Structure 1
Amino acid sequence: MKEEGKKILGEDRREKLLSLLQESHSPITGSELAKKTGVSRQVIVGDINLLKARNIPIMATSQGYLYIRPAQDNFLIEKTIVCSHSRSQTKEELNILVDHGITVKNVAIEHPIYGDLTASLMVSNRKEVEHFLNKVKLTNSSLLADLTSGIHLHTLAAPSNEAIEKAEKELKAAGILVDEN
C-alpha cells in the first residue's frame, strides 16, 4: 500500500477511500480523505459520487463522509416525527433527542416547489449536535426548516420504543413536537 500523502490514482484511490470509510465508525471529512490519498478535496467529491453510483452506501453528513452499515441490533426502532419550532430551539430539539440515546438520521421538509427535500444529519450525541450547529453558523447556512416556517420531520433510530416515547414527551413539553390530533 502507498504511503499517506502520496498521490494514489483512479481505481486504487477509490478502493482506498472505501477501505478508509469502512474501517471508520465516524464520518471522515473530504479534506482528511484528500490528505490521505494525495489529491484535492474536489477529486474526493468526484470519487465519492462514483462510488455512490455503484450503489455503495456512503452518506455525506455535516461531519464528513460515512459508510452506512446494515442496521445493527442496538437500533431496532425507527420512527419519523413531525416538529415545529423557531431556529433558536434547534439545539434544544436535537439535544433532547440525543440525550435519550436516539440518533437523528435526517431532517425532511415538504417544499412548495421542489416537493420532498431530505438532508442527512446522523447526530447521536451532544458533541455531534454542537459540530452540526457550528458548521451551520460558520457557513451562514439556512436550515431546511427555515423554508417551511419551522415545520419539519426527523427520522429517528433508537434502541427502544420507550426511548422514543420519553423523547417525544419532552419535545411536546417544550412545544416542539407537532401534536397528531
Structure 2
Amino acid sequence: MPLRGEDRRKEILALLSRDASNHKGSDLAFRFGVSRQVIVQDMAILRAAGVPVLSTPQGYALLADAAPQGEVRLLVTRHRTNDAMEEELCLIVDNGGRVLDVVVEHPLYGEMTGALMLASRADVAEFMEKVRGEGVTPLSALTDGLHLHHVEVRDGKTFERIRAALRKAGYLIESDEAGIVAER
C-alpha cells in the first residue's frame, strides 16, 4: 500500500538527503507506488516548504548536493540544431566544464533558466536522448539559438580552454557580437 502524501514526502527527503545522486521521477514513482505526476507534485510541495530541491534532466537532487565546487563563469553561445547543441555541450564537458544551466531572455517572460548539471559525455548523451526522443524544443529555440550557460570550472585556464574550443567551432558569441558585456 502506498504511503500517505506526508509520509511519502518525508521518505523522499530522507532519500535525497542520504544519497547525493540524482533520482529520476519515474524511479521514485515506481519505488513509492504512485504516478510520476504525484512525484512532481510532491517536489513542488517540498519546495514550497523551503526544501532546496533541484530538478535536472538527470533527476531530482538537493541543491546543496549540486552546488558548484569550483568557479562559476558565464558563456554566451549560439547554435541552431540539436546536433550543434550536442557538440557545444560536449566541447564544454570535454574541456573540463560542468554545464550548470541554460538561460535565455524571453521577450514576454524575461529571463528563463533551465537547470542542466551536465558534467560528462554520458550526461550530455542522456540529455540529448531526451531532447530527440521526446521531441521537446530547447529553450534556445525561443531566441534563435542565442543563450547563456553558467559553467563550473576548476580555474581560469580551464575556462579559457572551453572558450577557445567554442570559438573554434563557431558557437561562442563574443561580448561585442551579443551587445552585452560577458565575463571574460
TM-score, length basis structure 2 = 0.88
Indicate whether 1:56 and 2:51 are aligned: yes
* Structure 1: unaligned runs, 5 residues or longer: 1-5
- Among all aligned residue pairs of Structure 1 and Structure 2, give the percentage whose two residues are the same amino acid: 37
1:41 aligns with 2:16: no
Contact 2:20 2:65 in 1 (8 A): no
Cα RMSD of the aligned pairs, angstroms, is 1.6
What does residue range 17-166 of structure 1 map to in structure 2 within 5 Å?
17-69=12-64, 75-87=69-81, 88-166=83-161
Distance 2:53 2:123 in 1: 18
Displacement, 1:70? 6.0
Which whole-Å CA distance do the structure 2 matches of 1:39 and 1:151 have between them?
39
Runs (5+) with no aligned partner, structure 2: 177-184
Change (3 A) 1:101 1:119: same
Q: Report the Cα offset of residue 101 of structure 1.
A: 2.3
After TM superposition, the score normalised by the length of structure 1 is 0.90
Deviation of 1:57 (Å): 1.1
- Answer whether contact 1:97 1:103 (CA < 8 A) is retained: yes
Name segments (4+ residues, structure 1) moved above 4 Å.
Answer: none
Q: Answer whether contact 1:76 1:160 (CA < 8 A) is retained.
A: yes
